[in-house]
Amino acid sequence: MMRPSENKQQITLHVDAAALHFFKGAVKRYQSRINVTLPEYVNAHRTEPGLDKP
């Protein structure tokens, strides 16, 4: 089984202040929560035209 850190890539990301405030206020490990939320969004919208499957 792959460890979570083996599948991550470090990036710089500019995030809307309100969105960041939401994630920072909602959970202690906000970066982990963002990392869970993004793939959920991708999976929900994968059938939209113009979005390639991985």
C-alpha span between 30 and 9 (Å, rounded): 16
Q: Mind listing the pLDDT tens digit of every residue in the chain (54 residues)? A: 455 567 888 899 999 999 999 999 877 889 889 998 999 988 888 876 666 655
Residue 1 placed within a domain? no
What pTM, to 2 d.p., does this model score?
0.63
Residue 23 placed within a domain? yes
Closest among 17, 18, 13 to 38, alpha carbons compared: 13
Which pLDDT score, from 0 to 100, does residue 1 have?
46
Domain that holds residue 25: 15-54
Which pLDDT score, from 0 to 100, does residue 28 have?
83
User: DSSP of 1-54, one letter per residue?
Assistant: ---GGGG---------HHHHHHHHHH-SSHHHHHHHHHHHHHHHHTTSTTPPP-
Residue 9 placed within a domain? no
Residue 50 placed within a domain? yes
C-alpha span between 34 and 40 (Å, rounded): 10
Residue 2 placed within a domain? no
Which pLDDT score, from 0 to 100, does residue 50 have?
65
Task: Provide the number of structural domains found in the chain.
Answer: 1
Which pLDDT score, from 0 to 100, does residue 27 have?
75
Residue 54 placed within a domain? yes
